Amino acid sequence: MLLLPKFDYYEPKELTEACRLLSETGSKAKIIAGGTDILVNMKKGLISPKVLVSLGRISRLSEVERMNKSITIGSHLIIAKLAEFDLIRKRFSILASAAKVLGSPLVRNRATIGGNIVTARPAADLPPVLMALGAKVKLKSRRSEREVALDDFFIGPGATVIKPDEILTRVIIPETPSYTGGHYIKLGHRKALEIAIVAVASKITLNKPDGVIKDAKIVLSAVAPKAVHAKSAEEVLIGEKPSAKLFEEAASLAMNDCKPITDIRGGVDYRQAMVEILTRRTLSFAWKEAKKGKKQ
Amino acid sequence: MPAVKEIDRIDALEKVLGATLYAGDMYIEGMLYGVIVRSTRPHATISKINIKEAQYLEGVVKILSCNDIPGKKEFGIIKKDQSLLAEKKVRYVGEPVLVVVAETERLARKAAELIQIEYDDIISIHDPFTSEKAPVLIHGSGNLLSHRTVLKGDVQKGFRQSDVIVEHTYRTTWLDHAFLETEAGIGYMDNTGKLVILTSTQNVHYKRKEISRILGLPEENIRVIQATTGGGFGGKLDMTVECYVALAVYHTKKPVMIRFTREESFLSDTKRHPLYIEYKTGARRDGKIQAVEVNIIGDTGPYISYGETVCLRAAIHATGPYEVPNVHVDSRMFYTNNPISGAMRGFGVPQIAFAHESQMDEIAYALKLDPLHVRMINGLKKGSRTATSQILEASAGYIETLKRLEPYWQGRKKLKGRGFGLGSMFYGIGNTGITNPSYAHLSIAENGKIALHTGVCEIGQGSDTVLLQILCESLGVDDKNVELIRGDTDTSKDAGSTSASRQTYISGMAIYNASIKMREFLDKEEYYKGRGLKDIFLTYKEKGVPVFEGFFDPPTTALDPETSEGKPYATYAFATHMTEVEVDEITGYTKVLKVYAAHDVGKAINVRNIKGQVYGGIAMGIGFALMEEFRPGETHSLDAYYIPTSMDMPDVEVFIIEDEEPTGPFGAKGVGEPALIPQAASIVNAIKDAVDVRPFELPCHIERLKGLIESKTSK
Ligand SMILES: Cc1cc2nc3c(=O)[nH]c(=O)nc-3n(C[C@H](O)[C@H](O)[C@H](O)COP(=O)(O)OP(=O)(O)OC[C@H]3O[C@@H](n4cnc5c(N)ncnc54)[C@H](O)[C@@H]3O)c2cc1C
């Protein structure tokens, strides 16, 4: 058993108090949400914050709310819940399906949506689907509050634009228009507790059931230092009528939109080849779903 | 023989409730913690050790080196070739050099990090193929550890008689046992001055011998008790923490605990031997095998551990459960500076089964025969002569395993992307061609219960329950009237290791043997007429309650050093698994859908335990076939070592065949390793059936299989 280094621990009841603690303790403090990532890193001796500020007792951070044209999810919502909310399952099914394949029940019962974003692992499960959904995050510090599109949030492995005194409070996802469908596929050696070898999230919106593609998002995971849009693939889809041939073209473009590396989980060539396969498969599925129709 | 009355697993409830305490959970007031400082080099001489900074850290009690070993400095389960703490030379990354003992575990780890060891590197050997001719010797005696041969008939003649010959090379890699509980032990001096070690182990008596040697103390001064053990699979047969704990207690006179992190476990735990297997089979047009020629090259790492055992066992089992008239097997095990390979569920047989079962299918394909039929006409049965020329006298239920699966096999419906495969095996129960006895004894305890004393280590497989059942059945008593006292060198005699699927058969028989004697006594004392055990106890309290000794050593013979002719095992288990898989041709992902597992266990003492072993064996076989791969220097934790999860488990149907073994308790043999052995082979054959490519290297993981499929289509 690896041992944790020593640290001070706070459980503020108010967000403002959490912000105050962060700003006063400076870079020695860190937020702890579910702890599934930070505690592992602390045990391994990779980081050793002197202060941990828990978000666990701040009530409004675990809620899912419907706003006028979007829903917002409190950053402290655990992954297991994410897959349970009717609203999420129906409206943002790709988010629910990514949540279902994250880790194992033990991890899903502790890990939070905020933690999964801020950890910024290149193979994390939620960032690609959230990016495909066009999500933004709300960052709050003692003195300010800002919104950042998830597309602009990640810098590289473990690195994001969040400042040491900022807390990610909410994830905001715009309502999806009618005739939108999406799909997420994570490829790995086994059915659970798997860090993706490659994962792809796709989402398309049609102008009408048998119409053309109005909007397309394809996000590739585990094939670059951070989740990336397959830009050229997205572009080629817009304004076109979906077809197997079109998806093949997009898929082969997607292959060149990423820069995978070889590591213990997989080789460059395999990863690149799988980007093509998963892109095609997710698009076909998304199309089927999009044709189904209008949003309630 | 009567059926044996089943009882619930005696450890189940406590474990399910999470109440069971393991060695690493123990706490003794004032205890110290030990941490082992290990080599970071694969092959080097130690030029300098600087412990100053660590030594003066407050709370560091002792830093022990090889100079602090009072007795013999080497240990080893088969031969004493491994330094407890390196003296001048290190031969693998992870070799123990020092032990830091401190007041807290945190401090001990910190101190260990502060120690600087300087090395002069020596050329290191990482490939068994270059090992023999390498310019450096890992030990004085040359880099070939062992070379065994199995010879029967005339293979050249056999190949001349053959209508078809298939020849391929198979490869496997290192695997880690990945037991749930990592290695741990705690030691202290008891109030009689005895050194007590409580440890997670598969063999208490062996551990006591090693500690006695290392400390130069008589065995009577040492007591080894088995802590509840969370899995072994062969990885807790070798000495893990015991001697280090003992040495630290010896020097500090205080309780000491050592428990490995998962990372240390991965670094130091012995691995499954990677084997390279060249295999040539010749058969007549009707499918009858005429000759088998096999060349096995193994990598044992720098120390022997079970290297010789695996070398020999793989050779003896190379022909699988088939009667082959002409056999030539060469098996060589080489030293390298890779991790130490040792015992792991099956001692080389799962690797060789992958080869012989692939070959059987290839023969069937080449001759356009049904793979089940080819197995059937070649299968070992009563009266068959094995590759070591042993005549099987009884309990040879192999053909029955095939017959039991035949309806499913013939009724299989192949859907697109899916395939079915068979895998068969035979496995010699107990140690190979050497004496491997077990002792047990029975008495009546003061509380009026029958006391069963056995040295058998329960490692999760269920031996406690099975041994109790054997006793209750043969003695005609209820399990409520029995007290099990086990796994403690002070209260039991040596039962040998919990390995080689031997405890139900050998220790079960030793207990049976003791209970026959006790039964006579109880009969005389009118127990069966209703007299109470307490009453009998009181009659004998003064003059001493008699003790009934039981003993069994399976009848084997030593093998001929050149041909391996002889009787290596008294009995064999047989099994066939039929597996259905679904392969995604585009990604290379294989899902195991269903396994039908037929096992000849001699006699099922506890059906649920057998099923438990088979389920676990299948899970491990899926890992071996599809995902597990320990890469030295790259695999540090479970983060990148994939073992199957419950989500990867297929549906399993178990068929138990009872071809009774006359020398076993109620006819029982063993099933622990047989449960695993045929599984990977059956998956590989199912993959071939599904996508028409044959994996020759394990694990056949997603990317490797994709590569195979691709090279087929590009041809
Ligand atoms: C066994 C295991 C399996 C895993 N499997 C997967 C998997 O399949 N897929 C996957 O994507 N990940 C996986 N992970 C990684 C990890 O669990 C996730 O990234 C998880 O979502 C992190 O969330 P958390 O709430 O536990 O974060 P924590 O560990 O509490 O925090 C992670 C980091 O984010 C910061 N942080 C957390 N919340 C906030 C916030 N609101 N504002 C600012 N900073 C914050 C923390 O300071 C810390 O630096 C796995 C981890 C383990 C241990």
Task: Determine, yes or no, domain membership for A2.
Answer: no
Answer yes or no: do A66 and A125 share one domain: yes
The last residue of one of the domains, among A159, A174, A189, is A174
Q: Taking 80 as the threshold, does the pLDDT of residue A294 lie above it?
A: no
In A, minimum Cα distance to B259 occurs at A1
Task: Determine, yes or no, domain membership for B467.
Answer: yes
Intervals of chain B under pLDDT 70: 1-2, 715
Helix/strand number for chain B, H first, E second: 18, 25
Return the best residue to mutate from A119, A161, A265 for the ligand 1 pocket (most ligand atoms within 8 A of CB).
Answer: A119
The last residue of one of the domains, among A154, A174, A194, is A174
User: Between the CA of residue A74 and those of A61, A84, A161, A170, A186, what are the distances in Å?
Assistant: 4, 15, 19, 5, 25
d(CA B85, CA A121): 40
Q: How confident is residue A293, by pLDDT bands cut at 50, 70 and 90?
A: confident
User: Between the CA of residue A277 and those of A196, A226, B579, what are the distances in Å?
Assistant: 15, 20, 28
User: Between the CA of residue B553 and those of B174, B435, B495, what are the distances in Å?
Assistant: 33, 6, 10
pLDDT of residue A67: 87
pLDDT of residue B141: 85
Answer yes or no: do B462 and B539 share one domain: yes
Answer yes or no: do A76 and A157 share one domain: yes
- From the CA of B24, how many Å to the nearest CA of chain A? 9
In A, minimum Cα distance to B592 occurs at A190
Q: Whose CA is nearest to atom 37 of ligand 1?
A: A115
Sheet holding A136-140, edge to edge: A64-66, A70-74, A167-174, A136-140, A145-149
The last residue of one of the domains, among B259, B290, B306, is B259
Task: Determine, yes or no, domain membership for A143.
Answer: yes
Phi and psi for B268 in degrees, rounded to 5?
-105, -20
Answer yes or no: do B165 and B301 share one domain: yes
Encode A165-200: b = buried (16+ Cβ within 10 Å), e = exposed: bbbbbbbbbeebeebbbbbbbbbbbbbbbbbbbbbb
In B, minimum Cα distance to A269 occurs at B703
H helix intervals, B269-348: 307-316
Answer yes or no: do B520 and B540 share one domain: yes
Count of domains for chain B? 3
Summarize the confidence of residues A232-236 as an average pLDDT. 97
- From the CA of A3, how many Å to the nearest CA of chain B? 7
Chosen for mutation from B26, B587, B708 (greatest number of chain A CBs closer than 10 Å) is: B587
Task: Determine, yes or no, domain membership for B296.
Answer: yes
Domain span at B510: 437-552
Q: Are A185 and A128 in contact (CB under 8 A)?
A: no
Task: Determine, yes or no, domain membership for B21.
Answer: no
Summarize the confidence of residues A89-117 as an average pLDDT. 96
pTM above 0.90, yes or no: yes
Return the best residue to mutate from A54, A107, A110, A137 for the ligand 1 pocket (most ligand atoms within 8 A of CB).
Answer: A107
A-chain CB neighbours of B640 within 8 Å are 264-265
pLDDT of residue A296: 41
d(CA A232, CA A239): 14
> ipTM exceeding 0.90?
yes
CA gyration radius, chain A? 19
Contact at CB, B647 and A191, closer than 8 angstroms: yes
Task: Determine, yes or no, domain membership for B41.
Answer: yes
Question: Which CATH number fits the domain that encloses residue B507?
Answer: 3.30.365.10
Confirm or reject contact between B631 and chain A (CB < 8 A).
yes
- For the beta carbon of residue B340, count every other beta carbon within 10 angstroms: 24
pLDDT of residue A2: 77
Contacts of B52 (CB under 8 A, 6+ apart): none
pLDDT of residue A295: 57
A-chain CB neighbours of B627 within 8 Å are 189-190
Answer yes or no: do B571 and B424 share one domain: yes
Task: Determine, yes or no, domain membership for B449.
Answer: yes
Q: Are B255 and B335 in contact (CB under 8 A)?
A: no
Confirm or reject contact between B642 and chain A (CB < 8 A).
yes
Domain span at A88: 61-174
Answer yes or no: do B471 and B544 share one domain: yes
In A, minimum Cα distance to B587 occurs at A274
Helix A268-292 crosses helix B702-713 at what angle (to 10 degrees)?
Answer: 90
Beta bridge partner(s), residue B560: none
B-chain CB neighbours of A197 within 8 Å are 702-703
The last residue of one of the domains, among A140, A174, A208, is A174
Task: Determine, yes or no, domain membership for B570.
Answer: yes
Nearest neighbour of A192 by CB, restricted to B589, B634, B645: B645
Q: What does the block give as tokens for A96?
A: 């629910």
The last residue of one of the domains, among B496, B531, B552, is B552
3-state secondary structure string across B619-680: HHHHHHHHHCCCCCCCCCCHHHCCCCCHHHCCEEEEEEECCCCCCCHHHCCCCCCCCCCCHH
d(CA A258, CA A243): 23
> Is A221 near ligand 1, meaning CB less than 6 Å away?
no
Q: Which of B339, B270, B336 is nearest to B77 (CA)?
A: B270
Answer yes or no: do B168 and B92 share one domain: no
Question: Which CATH number fits the domain that encloses residue A160?
Answer: 3.30.465.10
